[in-house]
Chain A
Amino acid sequence: MRLLPFEYAVRNLGRSPLRLMLSVGGSVLVVLLVLIAAGFTQGMQQAMRVSGSPDTVMLIGSGSEESIERSEIAMRSAGIVAASVPGLLRRAGIDAVSPEIHLAMPLVTEAGTPGRLAVIRGVAPEAWLVHDDTRLVRGRAPQPGRSELVAGRLAARALGFEPPESILGMTFSLDGEPYEVVGLMEADGGVIEGEFWTALTDLLVTAQRDSLSTVILRMDQAELGDLEAFAATRLDLELAAIAEPEYYAQLSAFYRPVRLLVIVTAILIAIGGITGGLNTMYAAFASRVREIGSLQTLGYSRAAILWSLVQESVLASAIGSLIACAISLVLLDQFVIRFSMGVFGISINATVLSLGLAAGLLLGVIGAVVPAWRCLRRPIPEALRAGE
């Protein structure tokens, strides 16, 4: 098949600057929407995925398996499990058994303001042993009795601290108690990056609690079955043992409807965008029906003309897609989204960008094929009379 010169498609783009602007603008919006939806779901899934370690088990109050923040277990649970279950990880004489409180509390930056909700985790030093993907990147760990906080990178950004290091030295009011940020931590993008950690004893006092939310353990020779058996036999403690990856998988499943809603909304708006694109392209092609008839008269096949029209449309949508990708990388990547169990960052990675570009190109192809075919299927003599 002999094709029309590529310059024909390129120059046709400049025939109507307004139409070009509409096509490119439409592509930018649709692709941006696809990138936001994909980045949102990727970011949320990524946070959940990296948050579970296969050899880590959570002991949670039975009946509260879906939400750690509602869980309450006895303070003594940590000591009992460490003494009862052999084969737990032990480093430098310390058992990898981390008693923790997880609370969502308002952090107040200025007196009189309502503050912003943040996930606060009260931890003992064992927490650093259990959560081995979590590391301090600046400052130091919080010390008991000093009302100190370590901020996760995303948590700092969620409060507007950019760069996140600028949160160091800040003082927040937590239930009327001043807490100073003394460290900054990372957790490979997991949920912990969206949290604040403080000393367990300080949070017990501030929150006026006498119970834990969870005990998190790392196994060495022990197996999940051992901990399930422990939870089943110690009825007095009212515990449920759940592997950490399973907990986050359940949490991820809990938020699946939210992700679906985001995706469905994106698809619906994209369909609207494609419909708008179809109209724009049809108007563009319909005004050139006689020209299309002339090209056929010269001997160009319908397929060759269709290919050129698709090239033209794909060029416009490719420009829009690239602009959308650039906008998303500059403005959206790691944009912080809050939800009930913390925060996560929109993830604009290679997969998401590829999806956005593919959506843009698809928009260009669909946006051209249908209207182009409507123009091309007219008999040539009729096309040559168009506009007379």
Chain B
Amino acid sequence: MALIECRQLTRTYRRGNEEITPLRDLDLDIESGGFVALMGPSGSGKTTLLNLLAGIDRPTAGTLSVAGKPVHNLPRRALANWRSAHVGYIFQLYNLIPVLTAYENVELPLLLQSLSRSERHDRVATALEAVGIEDRHEHYPRQLSGGQEQRVAIARAIVTEPTILLADEPTGDLDRQSATSVMELLAQLNSEQGRTIVMVTHDPRTTEWADTVLHLEKGRLVEQAVGSERP
């Protein structure tokens, strides 16, 4: 059984009198430990799919199961709890909380779990070490470079040891060197820790690190490339 199973997944929005369907009848299976890159032109439905997988949006029709658990029909509060336990989300613009230090930002998702202070400390230290930024734990986001901020954001996403790691154009706001570094880190998390990663990207170079590349157009899956070789 696949880790993520989408069946006839559809999302429709209403904008005034107009009905927009960025995702239509999508069937998709993503295996545990996979690194999937979602590509496609603007409006193709890739971010909508990512939002549905993250549980921050709900499908209009169809079903979505993660690790065998249907999440498409969870109530709002239950969905929030599910997100905190199973989803790590990496944003294009990092979305760190500016008034919290790197350490506190990474600790933030752990406050939603029943952990002692020392357990939280150990987990945050491990996550910061995994992304190579342990020496900056007392820095505020404004004191970090873009690449460093994204590393802190990745640490925040992995600190809860989520079932799936979702990334929305994680290198979209970074220079080439930082982008390569971040992609190497994601690939490392995938290959060494077995994390399942789904990444939206516009940049074909970043797909080199993925093992599956999905192309979406007008809300439908048009192409699937499997087994790309990592750099």
Contact = CB atoms under 8 A, between A and B. Distances in A.
Interface of A: 2-5, 7-8, 11-12, 14-15, 290-291, 294-302, 379-381, 384, 388
Interface stretch (B38-46, B107-115, B181-189): B107-115
B54 interface: yes
A379 B58 CA distance: 10
B97 interface: yes
A301 B77 contact: yes
Contacts of A290: 93, 95
A297 B83 contact: yes
B91 interface: yes
Contacts, number: 70
B95 A291 contact: yes
B84 interface: yes
B77 A298 contact: no
Contacts of B97: 8, 291, 294-295
B91 A301 contact: no
B51 A299 contact: no
B99 A2 contact: no
Given A381-B51, A381-B57, A299 B109 contact: yes
Interface string B13-56: 00000000000000000000000000000000001100100101
Contacts of A302: 76
A15 to B, nearest CB: 6
A380 B112 contact: no
**A contact face: mostly helix, strand, loop, or mixed:** helix
A14 to B, nearest CB: 8
B74 interface: no
A296 B112 CA distance: 11
Query: For this complex, into which size category does the number of interface residues on chain B fall?
Result: 20 to 34
B132 interface: no
B83 A4 contact: no
B56 A299 contact: no
10 contacts: A4-B111, A5-B111, A8-B97, A11-B100, A291-B97, A296-B56, A297-B95, A299-B84, A300-B80, A381-B47
Given A14-B99, A294-B97, 20 more contacts: A2-B112, A4-B111, A5-B104, A5-B111, A7-B104, A8-B99, A15-B98, A15-B99, A290-B93, A297-B95, A298-B108, A299-B80, A300-B112, A301-B77, A379-B57, A380-B51, A380-B56, A381-B51, A381-B57, A384-B95
The 9 closest A-B pairs by CB, nearest first: A299-B84, A11-B99, A294-B95, A380-B56, A299-B83, A2-B112, A381-B51, A298-B109, A299-B112
